Structure 1
């Protein structure tokens, strides 16, 4: 399945540390697109593994992670407003 993951980590109460750890873990599984946005193909098992790896770093009362799921990337239409940086392209 195709995943878009977006996170919002406030920097108070050790948020910088949480943000760094979440970023590193997401980068292992998905392509970094923009600031706190990642996307890519994951199996359900890998998505669960990502969730379990992130869980210790998510402060349930402060942090937010959203996952958008699609069966296939071809069903998503990507549009840029402003600077176009398609980091998911294989051609540079």
Structure 2
């Protein structure tokens, strides 16, 4: 499956969330990660994100796709390009 994760968390937790997601996904730009993962990794990511954030204060949006086939267009500077995505 393919994930796109977008988050808006308190500054106290930004580095923890960023570091955790970086171990599974590719950083795209501020607070945005994407990448191909398996079902086990998906479940693990969701559990750990719930442990890292304050659900009363933070927001995380996870877009899940069966396969990566998105037509992506970047306007302006692409901060961290991926050369090829399946």
Instruction: Identify unmatched segments of 5+ residues in structure 2.
Output: none
The structure whose residues are more often helix, as a share, is 1
| Cα shift at 1:86 | 5.1
What's the TM-score, normalizing by structure 1?
0.82
Deviation at 1:33, TM superposition (A): 0.4
Q: 2:44 aligns with which of 41, 49, 64?
A: 49
Choose which of 49, 73, 80 in structure 2 pairs with 1:79: 73
Segments of 5+ residues of structure 1 without an aligned counterpart are 10-14
When the two structures are superposed, what TM-score results if normalisation uses the length of structure 2? 0.87
Structure number with larger C-alpha Rg: 1
The separation in 2 between residues aligned to 1:71 and 1:47, in whole angstroms, is 12
CA distance in 1: counterparts of 2:67 and 2:38, whole angstroms = 11
Give the Å deviation of 1:84: 3.2
**Structure 1 equivalent of residue 30 of structure 2:** 35
Shift of 1:88: 1.9
Q: What's the Cα RMSD here? A: 1.4
Aligned residue for 1:22, secondary structure, equals helix
2:34 match: secondary structure: strand
